[in-house]
Each structure stands twice: as C-alpha cells, then as structure tokens.
C-alpha cells in the first residue's frame, strides 16, 4: 500500500494534527508522514470533496449469522458491509447456530475473518446455548480470542448465575455483557408500553422491564466487583441508574443504539415490522435523555446493534415478526443529524477501551486505522444503499446527513462509489 490522502481534515483529539487539514502519506499500512502538502509520483493520491478522517470506528454489537444463518448474513459480506459503512472493527454477537459458546466456535469466527480489512472480535455466549442455565466455557473462549461474554438479547433470569459469572471472570480480567430485561414484565409485549402501543392495539413492554433488570445487575456488580457492560439501554430511568452506579465507582459501561437516539415509538404508526426492535423504540422524553447521557459520558459508546433478519421473518403480522434491524449502512448519516462530529467519533471509537483493545491515533509511525467521510452531504436512505443480504432497515426513507468515503486498516483500503441517485 502506497497512498497519500490529500487535503484531509483530521478529527482526532489525541493527535497534534487535530482539526488541521493536511496530506497523509501511508506506506505498507503505516503513517509515514503528515504535512501541509506531500507529493510523491509513485504513490496513489486519494482525493475527495471535503474529506474528513478520524480513527477507525468500532461497533460493539453486530450479528452476522454465520455459522447457521448464512441466508440472513455471512461473515464476509457482514465485514464488507462494516467497511463500506466506516467501521474497521466489529464485535460479533454469539447468536449463531450453534451458539458461539465454546473455543471451537470462537476460533471459527477468528479464522474465517482472518486478514480482512475489518477486524472481527467475537463475543462468547455467557451461558451454554444462551439458555441462562449454566455458564459456558468462558476461560477457554477468552484464550481463543473472545473479547467479552453475553447472551445476545437474552436476560439472565437466575441472579446467582450472573453473580457467579461476575466473580469468575475476574480471574482473567473478563467482561460480562448483561442485556437487561425482566422477561416476566415483558411478557408478550412487542413495542413500548405507551400511547402509541394503545393506539395501535399492540402489547406493550414497560420501561420497568429494563430498569428493574439493570438495577438488579448493578446490585450484583456492587456485591461482586468485576466489569459489567450493559448494552442498548433505552429509558430515562436506566440512564439515572447507571449514573448512580458510576458515581459509586462501579466498573460499569453501557451503550445505546443509533435508532434509540434518533427515532421514537411514533415511528410505529404504519405497522412496519422493521421498527420492531429490542429494546423497543421508546418516547421522545427517553430519546432526549439518552442524547444528554451520550453528551455527558454516562453512555460510553454508540452501537448500530446491526441484526439482519430474513424477509420471511419480517413479512408477518407485527406480533409474530422477529425483532431486529440492520444499522451499519445508516449509522453515520443518522447520528450526524443529532450529535456533533466530535461526539460521534468519540462514541464510535470508545468501544476499544471497553473491549480492552489498543487505541489508535493519527500520528507518524502508527498503523493507519482510519475512517474517511464527508459530514456535509444530504441524502435519503434507500434500499439501494443496503449492502447487507437482509434488507430489514429501520431507516428506509429517512433523511441522512453525511456519508462515508471508505476505510483504511490492516494495510488495506476500501473506498465507496458514493453516487447517490
């Protein structure tokens, strides 16, 4: 690789070139030089309108299906989708078939994604088959490359199992991911319990179902110590609970999805099953509280919670349709409407800290791990913008602000066509 990025505005608070427009020379995947202008004939010049660059983005929650659900998504196409969407690293959920609950399954994902531009970080299931009954082989999975342990969109009903997990992983500095939902309160609910659900005649999931589970898990964390990550919080009260836990000094982090920051349960009005997500879209009051929590760092990172679902599981009555939306392709364009660029980049890169991965920085001598983008273009998200095999996108027909040009990582580059018609 021999590249020169021309007239790139750097957005990296850890770099001396932060907010400067410079040329960047990259040789064999290493940042060799940064200067106001660089010219070298045997190098490929990369030029885009209003080019901005940041450290490569990481998504802490994606589902890629393989093995077992290749009809919904494959690892290779999922990683390609992540690259085209601006992500250089992704943490892959264990909801495969079989469930990723052992060393062999972790090694399968690592080997299948080896040498790709996008680095794949497998999340191991916390319990065997994600059934919530017995702990999975956590230590073996850690040694094989698992970055954390959690059962995707499954709450652990047995408090003792969660307690033992938090205690056990401390022996090898492991991270427990606790999707928080009290299933007995969720019942047969499919959307947020509120005015929208009543108008539509749909069974509601109360905010309390999330909040009581978070409160329990935080009490357990206070008792055991260790590290806990709470993914995709969705309510105002959840924010307050995590604020209080952090004030106590508990080692807890949390994420929020792009769609919970940008959409509300008013989006449900046409019974579009692509809006059926877990946790459900909440109220405007909740959305605004989540945005404030992102800004004041109560919420540590933003995820797409990318979850491809085949059309036969979405093209059903709302009650019967599966939960989930894809979100990689629309992430930046949606976030750029509600948050500042600096905040977006911070929250799309902080996942490395949560998962214990090395931070990157745009400095001479460092590996080039970068996202290239333009924050100023306006467009409407359409099916033609979907790279995923499944098309269950919650943001179809939504206006977007800003677009991704491509990514550089692992001595490779992926650039987008970026022709929007």
The stretch 189-204 carries a mean pLDDT of 96
Q: Which residues contact 99 (CB under 8 A, 6 or more apart)?
A: 105, 125, 128, 129, 130
* pLDDT tens for each residue of 139-180: 999 999 999 999 999 999 999 999 999 999 999 999 999 999
- Both 389 and 334 in one domain: the answer is no
CATH number of the domain where residue 64 is located? 3.20.20.140
- Both 134 and 226 in one domain: the answer is yes
Q: How far apart are CA 392 and CA 398, in angstroms?
A: 14
In terms of pTM, does the model score above 0.85?
A: yes
In this predicted structure, what is the pLDDT of residue 421? 31
205 is a domain residue: yes
- Both 65 and 28 in one domain: the answer is no
Q: How far apart are CA 221 and CA 142, in angstroms?
A: 20
List active site positions.
Answer: 305
- Both 48 and 100 in one domain: the answer is no
Of 319, 354, 389, the domain-final residue: 354
- Both 219 and 86 in one domain: the answer is yes
Of 354, 380, 396, the domain-final residue: 354
199 is a domain residue: yes
Q: Phi then psi for 106, rounded to 5 degrees?
A: -65, -45
* pLDDT tens for each residue of 395-406: 999 999 999 999
CATH number of the domain where residue 386 is located? 2.30.40.10
Neighbours of 40 (CB within 10 A): 14
With cut-offs at 50, 70 and 90, classify the pLDDT of residue 418.
low
In this predicted structure, what is the pLDDT of residue 419? 46
- Both 298 and 234 in one domain: the answer is yes
Of 333, 354, 375, the domain-final residue: 354
In this predicted structure, what is the pLDDT of residue 360? 86
* pLDDT tens for each residue of 218-274: 999 999 999 999 999 999 999 999 999 999 999 999 999 999 999 999 999 889 999
- Both 150 and 259 in one domain: the answer is yes
Category of 403 on φ-ψ map: left (φ > 0), alpha (ψ -120 to 50) or beta: beta
88 is a domain residue: yes
Q: Which residues contact 288 (CB under 8 A, 6 or more apart)?
A: none
420 is a domain residue: no
- Both 45 and 124 in one domain: the answer is no
Assigned token pair, 191: 């959307």
With cut-offs at 50, 70 and 90, classify the pLDDT of residue 420.
very low
Residue 61 and residue 355 in contact, taking contact as beta carbons nearer than 8 Å: no
**What's the domain count of the chain?**
2
- Both 292 and 384 in one domain: the answer is no
Q: Could you tell me which residues are beta bridge partners of residue 30?
A: 27, 367
* pLDDT tens for each residue of 264-291: 999 998 899 999 999 999 999 999 999 9
Cis previous bond, 279, omega within 30: yes
- Both 368 and 338 in one domain: the answer is no
Assigned token pair, 261: 């920051």
With cut-offs at 50, 70 and 90, classify the pLDDT of residue 4.
very high
- Both 42 and 180 in one domain: the answer is no
SS3 of residue 7 by DSSP: strand
- Both 45 and 68 in one domain: the answer is no
Closest C-alpha among 196, 364, 205 to residue 268: 196
Owning domain of residue 369:
2-53+363-415
254 is a domain residue: yes
Pairing of strands 176-177, 191-192: unpaired
In this predicted structure, what is the pLDDT of residue 417? 78
């Amino acid at each position: 690789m021999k590249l020169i990025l021309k007239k790139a505005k750097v957005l990296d608070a850890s770099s001396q070139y932060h907010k400067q427009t410079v040329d960047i020379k990259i040789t064999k995947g290493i940042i060799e030089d940064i200067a106001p202008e660089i010219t070298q004939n045997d190098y490929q010049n990369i030029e885009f309108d209003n080019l901005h660059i940041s450290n490569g983005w990481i998504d802490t929650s994606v589902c890629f299906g393989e093995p077992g659900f290749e009809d919904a998504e494959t690892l290779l196409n999922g990683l390609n989708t992540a690259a085209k969407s601006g992500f250089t690293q992704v943490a892959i959920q264990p909801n495969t078939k079989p469930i990723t609950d052992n060393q062999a399954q972790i090694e399968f994902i690592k080997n299948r994604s080896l040498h790709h531009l996008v680095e794949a970080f497998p999340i191991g299931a916390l319990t065997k088959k994600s059934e919530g009954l017995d702990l999975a082989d956590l230590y073996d999975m850690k040694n094989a490359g698992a970055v954390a342990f959690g059962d995707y969109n499954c709450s652990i009903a047995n408090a003792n199992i969660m307690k033992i997990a938090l205690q056990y992983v401390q022996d090898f500095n492991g991270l427990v991911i606790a999707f928080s939902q009290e299933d007995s309160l969720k019942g047969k609910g499919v959307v947020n319990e509120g005015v929208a659900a009543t108008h539509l005649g749909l069974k509601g999931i109360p905010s309390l179902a999330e909040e009581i589970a978070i409160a329990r898990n935080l009490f357990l964390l206070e008792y055991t110590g260790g590290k806990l990550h709470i993914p995709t919080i969705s309510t105002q009260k959840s924010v307050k609970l995590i604020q209080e836990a952090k004030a106590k000094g508990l080692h807890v982090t949390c994420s929020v999805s792009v769609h919970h920051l940008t959409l509300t349960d008013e989006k449900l009005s046409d019974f579009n099953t692509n809006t059926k997500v877990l946790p459900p879209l909440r109220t405007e009051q909740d959305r605004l509280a989540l945005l404030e929590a992102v800004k004041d760092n109560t919420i540590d990172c933003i995820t797409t919670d990318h979850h491809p679902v085949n059309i036969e599981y979405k093209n059903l009555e709302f009650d019967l349709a599966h939960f989930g939306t894809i979100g990689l392709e629309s992430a930046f364009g949606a976030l750029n409407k509600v948050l500042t660029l600096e905040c977006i980049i911070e929250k799309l890169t902080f996942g490395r800290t949560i998962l214990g991965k090395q931070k990157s920085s745009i400095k001479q001598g460092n590996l080039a791990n970068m996202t290239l983008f333009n924050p100023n273009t306006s467009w409407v998200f359409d099916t033609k913008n979907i790279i995923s095999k499944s098309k269950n996108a919650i943001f179809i027909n939504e206006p977007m602000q800003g677009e991704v040009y491509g990514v550089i990582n692992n001595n490779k580059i992926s650039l987008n066509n970026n022709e929007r018609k």
